[in-house]
Structure 1
Amino acid sequence: MKNKINNSSKEITENSQLPAAHAMLYAIGMKKSDFCKAQVGIVSNWYEGNPCNIHLNQLSKKIKSSVISNGLIGIQITTIGVSDGITMGTSGMKYSLPSRELIADSIETAIQSHFYDGVIAIPGCDKNITGVLLGILRLNKPSIIVYGGSISSGSYQGKKLDIISSFEALGKKKSGKITEKEYINIIKKSCPGPGACGGMYTANTMSSALEAMGIMLPYSSSFPSTSKEKKEECKIVSYYIKKLLKKGIKPKHIITKRSIENGIKLAISLGGSTNLVLHMLAISKAANIDFSLTHFQKISEKTPVIGNLKPSGNFLMEDIHNHIGGMPVIIKYLIQKGILSGHCLTITGKTLYENVKNAPDLDFNKQIIYPIENPIQKNGHIKILYGNIATEGSVAKITGKEGKFFRGKAIVFNSEEEANQYIINNQLFPNTVIVIRYVGPIGGPGMPEMLKPTSYIMGSGLGKKIALITDGRFSGGSHGFVVGHITPEAQLGGTIAIIENGDSIEIDAENNVINLEIEENEINSRKNRWKAPLLKINQGYLYKYAKMVSSASQGCIT
């Protein structure tokens, strides 16, 4: 039989020595005539505890129906997720980044053990997105990712709201800028339904990047979660998975160094999250592609920021869909301007440019996207800083609104909880560098996001007057003068571990430098006196993660 597309599943279905396996396939509803059909694992990160994920099972069912109508067998599978918004600022956030590895492991396990021929993955939140891509890269079977879509905006007193509005509302309430009633109403109205957080936070950063990388269908990143277009995408995806099966096109044909560069450039041009760095390093490793922090720096230096999108700008992903016409419009523009390469293969079987060439031309009148000739910032907002605090690198998100140089006196905290308490009690002073340490991938463990402290600072109106540095990481919703991913982390004896209250710290985003301004012999003396604290966890998954995880500069892979 020509163009046979059940090359993996036939190891089970066409093996007469596996009667129990065949009996179980009959038990799930398969017929003898189904045994020759290709089997597609339809993996979603569905669970009811998070708006980003609550609707994914509905999308999965639509995809399964489409797969069956196209002569394939669809097998629904669910994997885990962690709500960053719910766990933020709690010990639960320690599980967020590690969940990425569990997602990848579970997809690899379920698909490989059952010999499915292909994968359609339906992620919601950002660790979902990267986790499913890591899994399908390991498998390297024909695969497509369907993004769950972005949430609609909320509204209160004529102003658009999103999840970051609720975080920053606490800082505003504590500083007397809003009343208790206004505070409660903002919280109630920030998240009106299903979908991933609405700004250019990490979920939308990664979905945009993956569309530019060619592993999603055109428009997947910008179709809203509840839109008719998202439902239509679920109906047509089976046509493309069957095409990939027939042509033998696999993820590693699509995820190349050039396509990764495309994803990074698009994300930077839109003002995306610093988590992009961790995730792209991990994706590169899974695809066996040489990629480092140095590559990021070179790309960022040459990529202008043109997206006026939250958290640093004014607009949401829904505005890209409603007012611009979708992500392909932006991708087409960046190809025309020579920022992106249009020659990369995508899951449609066509090149990236072929996918978007018929998209409308970009309309700048809404000021959602700025022209390359008049960008928001001439080069990227993601800065890779080195210095005696970060000898192996750190990641800053500097849009220019906060300035590009900061010098201040350190106030040091050995946990996020201590820092949050300090900030929320309004004990803030200008020209301060807040240091939050022992929250790295090992010391955390799990490298939790520091959205609460950055939101409190921004909400109090001190975003330009206070810097925050950490060996943890930041949410895509974080903004302000912030530097994270400091390596070596404190738990491993990095310089951040020996910073003391009152020390002067210099952050120079022009020259990409972060330094503790004390004598080198004093640094060495303090390091000689330093002793590593015990790990905070001594059993369970986080303990295993802390023992296995690489540094942030290597992507926190296990």
Structure 2
Amino acid sequence: MDLRSQEWFGRTGKDGFIYRAWMKNQGLPHHLFEKKPVIGICNTWSELTPCNAHFRDLAEAVKRGVWEAGGFPLEFPVMSLGECQIKPTAMLFRNLASMDVEESIRGNSIDGVILMCGCDKTTPSLMMGACSVNIPTLVVSGGPMLAGRFQGRKIGTSDLWRFAEDFKTGKMSQAEFVAAEACMARSIGHCAPMGTASTMAAMVESLGLALPDNATIPAADSRRKVLAHMAGIRAVELVRENVRPSDILTRQAFENAIMVNAALGGSTNFIIHLMAIAGRIGVELSLDDFDRLSAKIPLLANVQPSGEHFVEDLFYAGGLPAVIRELKDFLHNDAMTINGRPIGDNCVEAQCFDRNVIATVEEPFKPESGIAVLRGNLCKNGAVLKPSAATPELMKHTGRAVVFENIDDYKARIDDPELDVDPSCVLVLKNVGPKGYPGMPEVGNMQLPAKVLAQGVHDMVRISDGRMSGTGYGTVVLHVSPESAIGGNLALVQNGDMITLDVEQRLLHLHVSDEELAQRLVKWQLPELGYDRGYVNMFIRHVTQAHEGADFDFLRGASGPVVKRDSH
């Protein structure tokens, strides 16, 4: 077994002295540096990332497993992205965090790595960075929080959007709003519904890069620590077996992840992150793959925001292995996973204990699931919609456009009593794409105008080049590409234009002639984004479009584990 860490610790003379001596100030005995697999614990713990604030404790469970297996655990921090804290949007910094992870892994004396992920962007950023280096890797997610309790019922993050509507229309007082805050996030962990965080945890399990049950064990459950302990053991074994992400993350693994996401009603953010990961590991994916593979999978998980229960309930009902077993006739069951067994074998003994939470393929919770990829003159490179979270009556709809030029315009006018809008209209939000915001924020599920909410209406067709929170819902068209900030046709939509959405036909059409659009484009001006220095300037210059994963153009492909120069 050739250990990468021995390039540091196995040297003689001055170089070996330098690498070992300063490490020994932590009280580490010399024998640890003698051919023991070094397992890096890449930790996104931060008090500014509440979803990950329990990771210090969880990392200790990982270390116990590493020690037990004869490894040498070394924990290190990387940039952490708190979805509800960091401004202007966590997505702006996903690629930066991935670069931090990539360089931290490659530049240090690590033979294998355990990625500790929780909040939305921490999972894809760590995965992207680790895939670029491609040393033995395993993911440990932080787990969902327990469902909240408010006024006698369970609540979760998806209820925020309902509370916001009720507060806006006077059905909920400020005091009740504050009380709900304390009730919703009542334990450690990430969001309780099948939002982006749990979608990402399910993604890594269905890809095969995490142990079974990683996706659904609640953060507060002691079994989460047991899983972390077992992950520590397995990480040492992966180094000894020289199993790398490229051995696990095959085309078949990515197809499995897409189909499992469909059955779960996972977040639309799944597309952008999986595309970026595929680009790093060298697997070709397109938007059409998501549409094709999702189309045949019904919704099996009755979990918010597409259903009524929470990820905690999904675990009690059998967890992700039970869902995967229901999909056995669709999946690549021989795709290998990180525990050395095919994904089909991992789930052969899984059981469902509650059919109200996990349905069967023959009698699904909803026939529509997954991701619908739309095409048309309004989105030449595609747009996406989540059918399981949409209103059936709006899945085929033609309406008059009510246009907001940017997020500030939207906020200033959405509740204006003079706004010319009715429930049949189509809300259009421009300049919230990867370059336009910049960072592509989760503002796509725009709150409806107050005058429409007052009529008892709770959904309208909404279109933008931005994203939607994984906990959001509604008939919302997202990720329009090319985005408006680079002159995509979305930039040319005017108030009063008619737009047709036809999900069955996968169509998003602007009823304006090509000639008229060409004339509008001549008059269109590139927006002034106002960032002339630093990381954000680099982001704008190098970020790819949504249908390409919104990664940096210079980060596609692998960098490998070799350090080019050695200063010692």
Q: Does the 8 A contact of 2:39 with 2:113 survive in 1? A: yes
Q: Does the 8 A contact of 1:364 with 1:371 survive in 2? A: no
Q: Answer with 396-405 or 484-493: which moved more.
A: 396-405
Q: Which residue of 2 aligns with 1:418?
A: 409
Q: Does the 8 A contact of 1:171 with 1:456 survive in 2? A: no
Q: Can you list the C-alpha shifts for 1:339-398, whole angstroms capped at 9, x where unaligned?
A: 2222111111111122222222x2454x11222112233343411111111011111122
CA 1:61–1:28 in structure 2 vs 1: closer, same or farther (change >3 Å)?
same
Paired letter, 1:380: S
Q: Equivalent residues in 2 for 1:244-263 (5 A)?
A: 244-263=238-257
Q: Equivalent residues in 2 for 1:104-503 (5 A)?
A: 104-322=98-316, 324-335=317-328, 338-360=329-351, 362-365=352-355, 367-399=356-388, 401-403=391-393, 404-424=395-415, 429-450=422-443, 453-454=446-447, 461-464=456-459, 466-503=460-497
CA 1:127–1:556 in structure 2 vs 1: closer, same or farther (change >3 Å)?
same
Deviating above 4 A after TM superposition, structure 1's stretches of 4 or more consecutive aligned residues are: 424-428, 454-461
Q: Quote how far apart the aligned CAs of 1:196 are.
A: 0.9
Q: Quote how far apart the aligned CAs of 1:300 are.
A: 1.6
**Partner Cα separation in structure 1 for residue 397 and residue 78 of structure 2:** 43
Give the secondary structure class of the aligned counterpart of 1:93: coil
Paired letter, 1:353: G
**Partner Cα separation in structure 2 for residue 318 and residue 537 of structure 1:** 42
Q: Answer with 441-450 or 425-434: which moved more.
A: 425-434
- Residue 508 (1) aligns with residue 513 (2): no
**Partner Cα separation in structure 2 for residue 341 and residue 448 of structure 1:** 34
CA 1:459–1:137 in structure 2 vs 1: closer, same or farther (change >3 Å)?
farther
Give the secondary structure class of the aligned counterpart of 2:107: helix
Q: What is the number of residues matched between the two proteins?
A: 543
CA 1:32–1:187 in structure 2 vs 1: closer, same or farther (change >3 Å)?
closer
Paired letter, 2:439: G
**Partner Cα separation in structure 2 for residue 418 and residue 182 of structure 1:** 29
Q: Answer with 476-485 or 454-463: which moved more.
A: 454-463
Q: Does the 8 A contact of 2:261 with 2:370 survive in 1? A: no
**Partner Cα separation in structure 2 for residue 341 and residue 207 of structure 1:** 19
- Residue 93 (1) aligns with residue 88 (2): yes
Paired letter, 2:396: F
Q: Does the 8 A contact of 1:51 with 1:193 survive in 2? A: no
Q: Quote how far apart the aligned CAs of 1:537 are.
A: 2.1
**Partner Cα separation in structure 1 for residue 376 and residue 181 of structure 2:** 40
- Residue 530 (1) aligns with residue 528 (2): no
Q: Does the 8 A contact of 2:63 with 2:73 survive in 1? A: yes
Unaligned runs of 5+ in 2: 553-568
Q: Quote how far apart the aligned CAs of 1:31 are.
A: 2.3
**Partner Cα separation in structure 2 for residue 86 and residue 509 of structure 1:** 34
CA 1:313–1:424 in structure 2 vs 1: closer, same or farther (change >3 Å)?
farther
Unaligned runs of 5+ in 1: none
Paired letter, 1:30: L
Q: Does the 8 A contact of 2:303 with 2:314 survive in 1? A: no
Correspondent of 2:28 among 17, 30, 35:
30
CA 1:79–1:307 in structure 2 vs 1: closer, same or farther (change >3 Å)?
same
**Partner Cα separation in structure 1 for residue 125 and residue 471 of structure 2:** 20
**Partner Cα separation in structure 2 for residue 474 and residue 113 of structure 1:** 35
CA 1:509–1:452 in structure 2 vs 1: closer, same or farther (change >3 Å)?
closer
**Partner Cα separation in structure 2 for residue 72 and residue 363 of structure 1:** 38
Q: Does the 8 A contact of 2:49 with 2:119 survive in 1? A: no
Give the secondary structure class of the aligned counterpart of 1:121: strand
Give the secondary structure class of the aligned counterpart of 2:154: strand
**Partner Cα separation in structure 1 for residue 445 and residue 81 of structure 2:** 17
**Partner Cα separation in structure 1 for residue 550 and residue 213 of structure 2:** 30
Q: Quote how far apart the aligned CAs of 1:459 are.
A: 7.4
Q: RMSD across aligned C-alpha pairs, in angstroms?
A: 1.9
TM-score (norm 2): 0.92
Q: Which residue of 1 aligns with 2:560?
A: none
TM-score (norm 1): 0.93
CA 1:381–1:423 in structure 2 vs 1: closer, same or farther (change >3 Å)?
farther
How many percent identity over aligned positions? 29
Q: Can you list the C-alpha shifts for 1:288-337, whole angstroms capped at 9, x where unaligned?
A: 01111111111122221222211121011000112x132212112211xx
Paired letter, 2:155: L
Q: Answer with 272-281 or 232-241: which moved more.
A: 232-241
Paired letter, 1:385: L
Q: Does the 8 A contact of 2:374 with 2:508 survive in 1? A: yes
CA 1:325–1:371 in structure 2 vs 1: closer, same or farther (change >3 Å)?
closer
